A and B are shown apart, each in its own frame.
Chain A
Amino acid sequence: MLRYIARRVLVAIPLLLIVGFCVFILLDLAPGDAASRVAGENATPEEIIQVRERLGLNDNVIVRYGEWLGNAVQGDLGRSLTTPQDVTDAIWSRLPITGSLALIAITITLVVAIPLGVLAALRPNSLLDRGVSAIAALSMALPPFVIGLILVLLFAVKWAWLPATGYIPFTESPSEWLKHLILPALALAAIPTAELARQLRGSLVDALGNDYVRTARAKGMKERTVVFKHALKNAAIPVITVFGLQVGRLLAGSVTIEFIFVLPGFGRLAYDAVVSRDVPMIQGVVIVSAIIVITVNLLVDISYGFLNPRLRQR
């Protein structure tokens, strides 16, 4: 297993290099100019040229990538062009907020999707099953920002139960922390919950049709044991694969959700960096998000071994 993990980590290195390079190329091709932002709104064209020169933005994209890479491998992701922050500090200050949001969204996903998926699988084609399928389809059809706006209008504006915007750190007030994150987490969790419930329902229906389930039932095993100990464990592998993919989706979804709910998280940092052409910050955000996705995928792969002993022996 350790060799497997080491191999995966080594494979991730060229991937990160490619990601970083692609970002440089894309930013180079995209319209807009970081120098304009840094020079200020009253800058003359000459001043913008001077700023561009000072920031090294006239250098070849390969040269700039090389310089960035040289610093990045030493742990220095650079300094923001538009705010007085080191990129690493900015990311570290924002990750706990998005992490909190993702944590609650994942909790909601698991708490809602697993029972619904199991219940629907136990009574296939029943009213419950069809109801779950319909709600899941609706959830997947609605973009998170639409769900978010509906939640705000109902729970924050109409009934004033929860705040519409902002963030309070957990250390300051756990209850306020939860109150500020519950609506964005619900919006963010809608699609993963729907996909996970449908995936679990499908996998479990398949698993429950297998011979070993029939044998277990014939041996007089309790239905709870059959479902939760045998069928669910075997149905879990594709579910975990889907779940792992949802983490990446949560990260991408946080851009819009954090914008709507005015959360100063990792997604907002990404948005702000892009609109202000803050190249070092964009690079840092992309690399960190790539590392997160790669790490989650690795954890998912490792979890297969725990769920299926045969994989452990390979």
Chain B
Amino acid sequence: MRNRGRAAIALLVSLSFIAAACGDDDDDSSAGTEAGATTPAATDAPAATDAPADSVATTDGGTATTEGATADTGATTPDDGSVPAGTEVDCDLPYEDGDPDANVDFITSVPPRQFDPHISTSIIGEYAYIAAVYDRLIEQRKGPVLCPMIAESWEFNDDGTELTLHLDPDAVFWDGSPIDAEAVKANLTRAQTLETSTVKSFLNMVTAINVVDPQTVTLVANRPAADLPSTLSTLVGSMINPKAFTDGTDLATTPAGSGAYEIQDWVVNDNVTFVRKDDYWRPESAGKAKTLHYVGIPDDLNKLNAFRSGEADISFFKAASYGDFSDYAESTEGVSIAQYPQGATYQIFLNTDRPGLDNQQVRQALNYAIDRDAINEELLYGQCPPTSQMLQGIYPGHLPELDDYYNYDPEKAQQLLDEAGFSDGFSFEIGAGAGLTPQALFGPVIQAQLAPLGIDVTVTEGDLLDINSRWAAGELDAYAQTRLGAADAGVVLRDNYTKGSRFPGTPPQEVTDAINATLDPTVTGDDRTALLEAANTLITEQALDLFICGTSATFIHTDDVLNADIMGQADYQGIFDMRYVTMSGS
């Protein structure tokens, strides 16, 4: 009997692992959805700079013209079409040098799982790790702006369907072999054809990759593709040494890279230490710190505890934790908060194919019925300014007057419902990832605010992956999530309103047309800004989402940390790009 009892206990203890671990997926694969607060940057302004001189470029129509290419990179205009004609694109941010032997300890939400960019389950979440070991064809820097990296310049043909990349002749992999056109072709082909590739959809417009000469490669698209340069600046554009494709290297564990750092030590799903490569091919853009140590800690309280006990120099945190982190920063000498301008938005995604939500007036009514100021003040410490538009202030196409397009007006909401034939209200379901803050907090608030109009909201919290899958499959009416930014405003609109995984409903044709128009690289400057404004306005007028507020990335750091406020990609996705971050050494 005793043995049988023990057997049962053994069984229960074993199974308790499942039950105990069946918690919230707070970690999730999309750290970018955790972007935080939104007040202007509060960190020390960098003083000295070591940036190479004169890499300021201007755009002028569809063809790049360079006012001052850098002596080191030979950089020319990053003409991705996202910058109005004549606007200066400053790739030389005022990076400080700091201590060349510094080690920087970071805490982020996503632990390092693997290092193959083509099988990344989150090209945003894994950017911090993979970007350290692989250079991309094009580099994203704060702005956002696209700057030369392996491609020293690029241009489109007249109809915007061919992107020609001119590669830096000095670009080499770690083993000294050149990063040439054949290598680019091999990499992009692998991204498109590898059976386990998770990035195929990012390149589905590319129909041919033509090697012109060792330093020139042309990508042929089936449509005007102004979004391609932006795509090539993500992990999709990472350059892996093609030798690794055939020699049996397990790229998930053994990078064959081109980047400024290599792995020194790595505990899967926990932490990784990178050490700077002293023979990196772009010495002027080499890593500032000698070593970078990343730890993935999903929970914000644990992050704060680790930071307070001196185990990290800089840590990301979520908007919902702003109060705890800012209290600590304000009460502690030598600690600051780095806040970027908002580039992403918290919204209730609406499935426009569902009954009720397929009516524009109903969607507008929902937007008028929401008190965004109350949500911002009560849930988000006043750090998430109310907005009624997708494109936030860092993007061309943003219109300040759209922020209060849907001011809180319950009477107007009722009037719209009456006109739409929904006087007695209706019901719909909002899905949210359990424990995912602040998104999971929105459901009950929206539920309460819509109840007086007779709108019955059911809030379904569940495993984030499950909810995400249900949303992508069109099984949910609505979904509380973050609409993320990207390096290009057109890509922001494309990803959020034409991709089924983010917008499973059928967008109005005029919206699709307006977004596609912004992806034509032959339209640039003020003309493109006008197209972006038109598309952005249509999305607001059509009320394709239940808009809530604009959000941005927020970090806590010690004052010894340099360049924390100008990290590339951090400004709209909340992900570290630590290459230029270092310590003062003081």
A complexed with B: yes
How many whole Å from A71's CB to the nearest CB in chain B?
A: 19
How many whole Å from B149's CB to the nearest CB in chain A?
A: 22
**Among A48, A93, A293, residue most surrounded by chain B Cβ atoms (within 10 Å):** A293
Asked if B302 CB lies within 8 Å of chain A CBs, one says yes
Which residues of chain B are near A274, meaning CB under 8 Å? 17-18, 21-22
How many whole Å from B535's CB to the nearest CB in chain A?
A: 21
Which residues of chain A are near B305, meaning CB under 8 Å? 152-153, 156-157, 164-165
Asked if A285 CB lies within 8 Å of chain B CBs, one says yes
Asked if A255 CB lies within 8 Å of chain B CBs, one says yes
Distance between Cα atoms of A11 and B302 in the complex (Å)? 42
Which residues of chain A are near B198, meaning CB under 8 Å? 39-40, 42-43
From A157, A165, A248, A275, B13 is in contact (CB under 8 Å) with A248
Interface size of A by CB at 8 A reads: 74
From B10, B13, B269, B501, A42 is in contact (CB under 8 Å) with B501
What's the count of A-B pairs with C-beta under 8 Å?
204
How many whole Å from B84's CB to the nearest CB in chain A?
A: 29
Interface size of B by CB at 8 A reads: 67
On whether the beta carbons of B302 and A260 are closer than 8 Å, the reply is yes
Chain B positions 18 through 41: 1 when the CB is less than 8 Å from some CB of chain A, otherwise 0:
101111010101100000000000
How many whole Å from B390's CB to the nearest CB in chain A?
A: 18
Distance between Cα atoms of A31 and B462 in the complex (Å)? 8
Q: Which residue of A lies closest to B14 (CB)?
A: A290
Which residues of chain A are near B267, meaning CB under 8 Å? 93, 264
Asked if B207 CB lies within 8 Å of chain A CBs, one says no
How many whole Å from A255's CB to the nearest CB in chain B?
A: 4
Q: Which residue of B lies closest to A169 (CB)?
A: B267
From A44, A267, A268, A290, B270 is in contact (CB under 8 Å) with A268
Q: Is the interface of A mostly helix, strand, loop or mixed?
A: helix
On whether the beta carbons of B29 and A37 are closer than 8 Å, the reply is yes
From B3, B309, B501, A156 is in contact (CB under 8 Å) with B309
Distance between Cα atoms of A44 and B268 in the complex (Å)? 27
Q: Which residue of B lies closest to A80 (CB)?
A: B268
Which residues of chain B are near A160, meaning CB under 8 Å? 309-310
Distance between Cα atoms of A272 and B125 in the complex (Å)? 16
Which residues of chain A are near B122, meaning CB under 8 Å? 40-41
From A30, A249, A267, B22 is in contact (CB under 8 Å) with A30
On whether the beta carbons of A164 and B308 are closer than 8 Å, the reply is yes
Q: Which residue of B lies closest to A45 (CB)?
A: B473
On whether the beta carbons of A262 and B297 are closer than 8 Å, the reply is yes
On whether the beta carbons of B14 and A264 are closer than 8 Å, the reply is no
Distance between Cα atoms of A277 and B6 in the complex (Å)? 29
Known: A23-B18, A37-B465, A39-B198. 10 other contacts (CB 8 A): A22-B15, A42-B199, A42-B501, A83-B268, A149-B301, A248-B9, A255-B20, A272-B269, A275-B463, A286-B17
Q: List 23 A-B contacts (CB under 8 A).
A: A23-B15, A26-B18, A31-B462, A33-B469, A36-B468, A38-B121, A40-B120, A40-B198, A41-B124, A42-B202, A43-B501, A152-B305, A153-B305, A156-B309, A163-B309, A164-B309, A164-B311, A245-B9, A264-B271, A270-B17, A285-B17, A293-B9, A294-B10
A positions within 8 Å CB-CB of B:
8, 11, 15, 18-19, 22-23, 26-27, 30-33, 36-45, 47-48, 54, 82-85, 90, 93, 149, 152-153, 156-157, 160, 163-166, 245, 248-249, 251-252, 255-256, 259-260, 262, 264, 267-277, 282, 285-287, 289-290, 293-294, 297, 301
